[in-house]
Amino acid sequence: MRRVTLCLLLFLATACTSTDKGTTLVLASTTSTQDSGLLDLLTRQFEADNPGTQVKTIAAGSGEVLALGKNKDADVLLMHSPEQETAFMKDGHGVSRQAVMNNEFIIVGPSSDPASASNGGTIQQALALIARSQQTFISRGDDSGTHRQEMQLWSAAGITPTGDWYLESGQGQAETLVVASEKSAYALTDSSTFAVTRSIDNLKALRLVGLRNPYSVIVVNDARNMAAAISFADWLTNSKGQLVIARQGLFTPVTPAGP
Amino acid sequence: MMHALRLLLDGDPYTLEVIATSLKISAVSLAIAIAIGLPLGLALGMTRFAGKGGFLVLVNSAMGLPPVVVGLFVFMALRNDGPFGQAGLLFTPTAMVIAQVPLAVPLIAGITMAAIAALHPDIRLQARGLGAGRIQQARLVAREARPSLVAACIAGFGITISEVGAIIITGGNLLVGGHNYTRTMTTAIVQETRQGRFDRALAFAIILLVLIAIVNIFLTRAQTRR
């Protein structure tokens, strides 16, 4: 019994101390960067380039990412919700905001395209065709960057999406794509998450004019690890971070890095 | 947070629908689980058969089934490509019930079984001596063990109302046409937290705890009434 207790204590002690070495930077990011595997690549390379700094990542919806920033539970944010980011900066919660990379918004749906949505040419027209034919569409419904973009597109098309064809998952992008695949439904998604989500074979990307989805890095005002946060943001927007993004190939870095 | 609580309780249709879905899924799951678990527990507690020991280990182990694992199994079975994909049940309330019943049955059967085993064996021997059949014996035993059987139902209710891992995978936390379809209080708490609306998440949490307490007031009364 005493031996078991001793083991437990040792385990607890190691569990507690293992993170105490050096600085632990807390990075909050939206789900697409984690689902696509980019977040792991970035943090691993950053830790290799900056010995003594560990990066703890939290992947969440835009709302939670911003809340983590406001409460200073995160030091640095990587996200794609331009309007919310602008408001966050205006309210003085961030000290800097820099463009990092882009991917594209796309519409995905059943390969048979029952709404003939690909005839629309643009995403906005495609949504209008889906609404007209009342084919099932599944929305994130979670106030995320992608959901906000979707609502803007509906309103630009002059449509208020209501009715039994319009579903809301309230979950992340990958979960929403799985629901869309199982329900043979259409969905708006970022291209990177669509590229890496598995077991959604029912879905095909529609051929439409692309719509840019910009990602930014924000250093939180009065962050607990301010120096590390600034060096991460600089690293991400300079050649080293940009190269990691370019090599992975799922996002387009803002500054095309040399070889 | 008080503001969120007031908003949620102020006849907000969204909140009421979430609460209704929670109670509906939980009630149906619990009713089916009781219908299977109570007789199963009684039978296991009253009979002796070869290999019973192994069966008891199985039931007891199943009392600790991880909800998310059961959810995954049900998800795989109900997928379009899965063995029961034709039924089109994935992401429906039915799928959530299918996932919750296997979580509640072992709890109800296990507690029932333990309660029966703890009863004085004379009760059944006397009944048998007086010429009672198996069903009559079971009824007598169940009456003697009633507080424990209600405890079994309380445990079953506990898991069906509180569990989130299985139902978010199989139900999908969906609204259809703006109305609730498979979103319960627990899955709504997950979503509100993800969205950074911690006040609304906490408000839902308080409503959930109060509802559990209210249901348990009735169940406890049923347990202690003689």
Chain A hits for B195, Cβ within 8 Å: 61, 63-64, 142-144
Contact B178 A162 (CB under 8 A): yes
Query: pLDDT tens-digit profile of B116-134?
Result: 988 887 888 888 888 888 8
Residues of A with CB under 8 A from a CB of B: 60-61, 63-68, 141-144, 162-172, 175, 179, 181-183, 202
Bridge partners for A168 per DSSP:
A139, B175
Query: pLDDT tens-digit profile of A170-198?
Result: 999 999 999 999 999 999 999 999 999 99
Nearest-Cα distance to chain A for B3, in Å, is 18
The reported pLDDT for the residue numbered B17 is 95
The reported pLDDT for the residue numbered B18 is 96
Residues of B with CB under 8 A from a CB of A: 79-80, 90-91, 168, 172-178, 181, 183, 187-188, 191, 193-198
**Among partner residues A142, A179, A183, which is closest to B194 by beta-carbon distance?**
A142
The complex's ipTM?
0.88
- Global model pTM greater than 0.95: no
* Mean pLDDT, rounded, of chain B: 92
The reported pLDDT for the residue numbered A4 is 61
Instruction: Tell which of B194, B199, B204 to mutate to test the A interface (max A CBs under 10 Å).
Output: B194
Determine which helix (DSSP H) or strand (DSSP E) holds A77, and give its type and residue range. Answer: strand A76-79
Nearest residue in chain A measured CA to CA from B201: A64
* B10 pLDDT above the threshold of 70: yes
Determine which helix (DSSP H) or strand (DSSP E) holds A101, and give its type and residue range. Answer: strand A94-110
Chain A hits for B168, Cβ within 8 Å: 171
The reported pLDDT for the residue numbered B131 is 84
Average pLDDT over residues B184-213: 94
Burial of B29 per CB tally in 10 Å (0-12, 13-18, 19+): buried
Alpha-carbon span B153 to B147, nearest angstrom: 10
Question: Within chain A, where are the H helices?
Answer: 2-17, 31-35, 38-49, 62-70, 82-90, 123-133, 145-156, 173-183, 191-196, 226-237, 239-248
* B100 pLDDT above the threshold of 70: yes
Query: pLDDT tens-digit profile of B14-32?
Result: 999 999 999 999 999 999 9
Instruction: Tell which of A65, A164, A171, A203 to mutate to test the B interface (max B CBs under 10 Å).
Output: A171
Chain A hits for B80, Cβ within 8 Å: 181-182, 202
Nearest-Cα distance to chain A for B190, in Å, is 9
Higher pLDDT, A230 or A6: A230
The reported pLDDT for the residue numbered B135 is 87
Average pLDDT over residues B171-185: 97
Reported as a pLDDT band with limits 50, 70 and 90, residue A10 is low
The reported pLDDT for the residue numbered B127 is 84
Paired tokens of B12: 């907000």
* B4 pLDDT above the threshold of 80: no
Paired tokens of B31: 């009713």
The reported pLDDT for the residue numbered B128 is 83
* A13 pLDDT above the threshold of 60: no
Query: pLDDT tens-digit profile of A75-110?
Result: 999 999 999 999 999 999 999 999 999 999 999 999
Contact A64 B194 (CB under 8 A): yes
Buried b (16+ CB within 10 A) or exposed e, A1-31: eeeeeeeeeeeeeeeeeeeeeebebbbbbbb
Alpha-carbon span A160 to A77, nearest angstrom: 32
Chain A hits for B193, Cβ within 8 Å: 64
Determine which helix (DSSP H) or strand (DSSP E) holds A96, and give its type and residue range. Answer: strand A94-110
CA A200 to chain centre: 19
**Torsion from C-alpha of A93, A96, A99, A100, nearest 10 degrees:** -90
Please give the share of chain B, as a percent, with pLDDT higher than 70. Answer: 98
Chain A hits for B90, Cβ within 8 Å: 182
Reported as a pLDDT band with limits 50, 70 and 90, residue B61 is very high
Nearest residue in chain B measured CA to CA from A145: B195
**Among partner residues B173, B177, B183, which is closest to A166 by beta-carbon distance?**
B177
* A259 pLDDT above the threshold of 50: no
Reported as a pLDDT band with limits 50, 70 and 90, residue A3 is low
Residue of B111, B142, B80, B190 lying closest to A199 (CA atoms): B80
Nearest residue in chain B measured CA to CA from A141: B175
Nearest-Cα distance to chain A for B23, in Å, is 20
* Mean pLDDT, rounded, of chain A: 91
Query: pLDDT tens-digit profile of A15-68?
Result: 554 445 589 999 999 988 998 899 999 999 999 999 999 999 999 888 899 999
